[in-house]
Structure 1
C-alpha cells in the first residue's frame, strides 16, 4: 500500500468511516508509515486534535480499568487506543512507544537475530473417513467438504476417490501443524478457520438431530450456518458450546490451561462438566478452567480473532503468553534463561506476516528483554 492510500484510509478512520478491512490495513501498515515524519505533515490541526482526544480517552480508560489492580509495568509495543496514536502522542505528550529500526542497528538485540525465521503459512492435512490422508495445498486458503465432493474454495476439485460417506457419517479429521493455518467449509455450510497447531474432528455428513464437531486441540473461529432444527455443537476437553447460527471463537490449546469462548454475533450456550451453564451475548468471553468453573467477562472480540485477520494483539499479556503464540505460529521452541521475564506484561499489535526477527525486535525495544535465535530456538534473557 502506498503512503497516499494510507493517508486516505487514515482520513476515513478519523471520520469513523473506515471499513473493517481498511482498519485492518491500517493495523498492518502502521509501523511502515508512522515512523515517517512526512505523514504527520499531511494531518491538519483538527485531525491531530481529534487523535489527541482519542489518546486521552484511551489513557483514561486504562487508568480506570487498572485503578483497583496492583501496579505493574506494562510495556507498550503498538497501542490500540488509536491506530495513529503513537506518532501523534510523540508530539502531543512527548511519549515514544517505539524506536526507529536504525536506533537498534548494531545493538545486541539486532546482532543476535541474524538467523531469521519465516512466518507460518496456509498448510493443513485432511484425513478422510476411509483413512486416506491428503496434504492440502499451501497455495490455497481453504477446503470445502460436502457429501459428494472435496474441493478447494476456488472450486478446484481435490479428490472423491474412496470417500466413505456411510450412514453413520464417519469422522473426518483436519489438522494444522505449528506454523500453519487453514479454512474449511463443513458439510452443512458452516465455515471454520483453524489457527496453528489445531486439530478437529467432524462427520462427513451431519446425520441426525444435531451437528457436532470436536476440537481436539487448538483454536477455531466459526461462522455457523443457521439451522433451527439442528443445533451446532462444539465439544472441547469437557466444554460444550451449543448454537443455532452465530460467529464465535474457541481457544482450546491444552498448554493454555483454560478454554476461552468469545462471541461476536448471536448467542451461544456454554456448559462444562459438572459446572453451571452460561449464555453468552456478543462481546462476551467465557473461560473454563480446570478448577475455576465458568467465568464470563466483557471483551473486545477483535482481540480474540486477530490471528484470523493476520496479526497478533497482545492486550496486557505476559511475555510467557506472548511467546507461546509466537512459538506456535513460527514453529519455534522458546527458552527463558531468566524465568522472571515470563511475568512482564505487554500491550501491542504486530503483523503475523513479518519475519520473526521483526516481532522480536519490537519486543526488544522495550529494553526489558533481549532475544537470540539459535537454529529453531528463541532464547530470552534480561536486557543487559
Structure 2
C-alpha cells in the first residue's frame, strides 16, 4: 500500500471485515513498517469512507479505540491504562490495523454498529456500559443521557435515565426474551425489572434478565459478578438468581450475591427475608436445601459444590452500593483483582510473597491512592503510581 487512496480503500474493507487474507496481511505489514506514522487517514476521512456505518458519538468512539489500543500492547512489567484524554486520530489509525490481528476490537466495534451476527466480546476495561438486546443488537448506555430501550419490533420496553433503567410491565410479550447488561470496571448501575425488583450492579458485572416476566413462569436472571437484589414480593412466581452452578431462590427479599471468577466461592448475604440455596442442576427442595436466615452468609464452594453458612455483619458485604470496599480474609492476589475492577486500573505485582498473604480491610469511598497508602502503612510495600499505572516491587 503506497498511495493514500489505496490505503483508504483497504482500510475501509478492513474495518468492514471484507478484506481477503492477502489484503489483511497488507494492512498488518503496513502497520508494522510504519508504526505510528501520520500516513493514516484522518477522522474525517474515516467518517466519509464508512458511510455504510451509522455515525458514532466521538466520545464513544474515542473510548472504544482507546481500549483497543490498551489491549493491543504487549504485556510488560507495567501495563498502561486507558487515559481520560486520548488522541482520537491516532486510535482510529491503530484500531484499523489491529482489529483482525488481535481478534478483539472489530467484534466489539461491529456490535456497537449493530452489524455483528454473534455476541461481541466485551472488554470490561472499556468505559461504556453496554446493553445487548434480544435480537443481538448493542446499545451504549451513557449515565449522562436519557434514552428509550426498544424491543426488536420497535416497541418501548424500558427507559434509561442517568444510572438506571426502568422496564415496564405493559408490553404484550407472551414468551420470555432477554436483555443483557454489562458493567465495565470502575462503574456501577441500577436496573428496575418489569416486576418492580430493583437490582444494584457492581463493576465488572454481567446480568441477563427477561425484558418482561411471564405469568406462570419463574422470575429467573443470570449473574456473573456482583449484585444486590431488592426483590418485589410475588409468592406465585419465585425469583431465582442463577450464579453458574448455584441457584438462589426467593419470593421477595433483600440479598447480595457475589459471583466473581477469581473467588473460590459464590457468596450470598441475606439482609432480610428468606433465601434458598441449591445446585443449579437440581430442583429446589425446602426440606433438603440450605435456607439462609437474615444476617447470615451462605458460601457455595465451586470445587466441591458444598454450601456453608455463618453469621456476618451484612453491612460489610453491601457497603459497595454506597462506595465502600471490604476485604475479609482475602489474599492480596485477589485484592489486586478487585482493586483493578473497582478503580479500572492495572496493577502489576512483582512481590510474589505478598500475593499469597491474607488481609482484612474496609474502606469508605476512598481513592486508589489512599487504599495503596494503607497497604504501605501496614505492610511496608513499595509501589509506584505513574500515569495511572501501579507497579508493586
For residues 377 and 155 of structure 1, what CA distance do their matches in structure 2 show?
Answer: 28
Aligned residues: 263
CA gap of 1:257–1:155, structure 2 versus 1, over 3 A, is closer
**Within 2, Cα distance between the matches of 1:116 and 1:133?**
22
* Residues in 2 aligned to 1:140 and 1:267: alpha-carbon distance in whole angstroms: 37
2: CA distance between counterparts of 1:379 and 1:301?
33
1:333 to partner: Cα distance: 2.6
- The reply to whether residue 313 of structure 1 matches residue 326 of structure 2 is yes
Are residue 177 (structure 1) and residue 223 (structure 2) matched? no
The equivalent residue for 1:86 is none
1:137 aligns with 2:142: yes
The match for 2:219 is: 211
Give the deviation of 1:274 after TM superposition.
6.7
Higher mean displacement: 322-331 or 339-348: 339-348
What secondary structure, in the 3-state scheme, does the structure 2 residue paired with 1:255 have? coil
Q: Is 1:365 the equivalent of 2:372? A: no
For the structure 1 residues 159 and 289, does the alpha-carbon distance in structure 2 shift closer, same or farther, using more than 3 Å as the test?
Answer: closer
Q: Tell me how far 1:337 sits from its aligned partner.
A: 1.0
Output the CA distance in 2 between the equivalents of 1:186 and 1:271.
24
TM-aligned CA deviation for residue 126 of structure 1:
1.5
Find the counterpart in structure 1 of residue 260 from structure 2.
253
Partners of 2:194 and 2:389 lie apart in 1 by 39
* Aligned 8 A contact 1:149 1:157 in 2: no
What's the counterpart of residue 361 of structure 2? 348
- Confirm or deny: 8 A CA contact 2:256 2:317 kept in the other structure: yes
Q: Does structure 2 conserve the Cα–Cα contact (< 8 Å) formed by 1:165 and 1:205? A: no
What does residue range 142-221 of structure 1 map to in structure 2 within 5 Å? 148-153=156-161, 166-207=173-214, 208-215=216-223, 217-221=224-228
Q: Which of the numbers 126, 130, 133 marks the counterpart of 2:131?
A: 126
Report the alpha carbon displacement of residue 148 of structure 1 after superposing the two structures with TM.
4.7
Instruction: Identify the match of residue 338 of structure 2 among 318, 325, 335.
Output: 325
Q: Does structure 2 conserve the Cα–Cα contact (< 8 Å) formed by 1:260 and 1:286?
A: yes
Distance 1:269 1:159 in 2: 26
Output one character per residue of 1:196-248: Cα deviation in whole Å (capped at 9) or x when no partner.
11101111111133111111x21011000011111101111110111000000
- In the aligned structure 1, how far is the partner of 2:164 from the partner of 2:333? 41
Deviation at residue 273 of structure 1 after TM alignment:
4.8
Is the 2:292–2:298 Cα contact (8 Å) retained in structure 1?
A: yes
- Tell me the CA shift for residue 375 of structure 1: 5.1
Structure 1 pair 274–234 and aligned structure 2 pair: CA distance change class (3 A):
closer
Which residue number corresponds to residue 9 of structure 1? none
Residues 334-369 of structure 1: CA distance to partner in whole angstroms, max 9, x if unpaired?
322121102333333223452x22221122112431
Q: Which residue of 2 aligns with 1:279?
A: 291
Is the contact made by 1:178 and 1:330 (CA closer than 8 Å) also made in structure 2? Answer: yes
| SS of aligned partner of 1:365 | helix
**Alpha-carbon contact 1:250-1:262 (below 8 Å) kept:** yes
The separation in 2 between residues aligned to 1:155 and 1:350, in whole angstroms, is 23
Structure 1 portions without partners, runs of 5+? 1-111
Please identify, of 300-309 and 120-129, the stretch whose mean Cα deviation from structure 2 is larger.
120-129
Q: Taking CA–CA contacts closer than 8 Å with sequence separation of 6 or more, which of the two structures ends up with the larger relative contact order?
A: 1
Say if 1:266 and 1:153 are closer, same or farther in 2 by CA, change over 3 A: farther
Q: What's the secondary structure of 1:256's corresponding residue?
A: coil
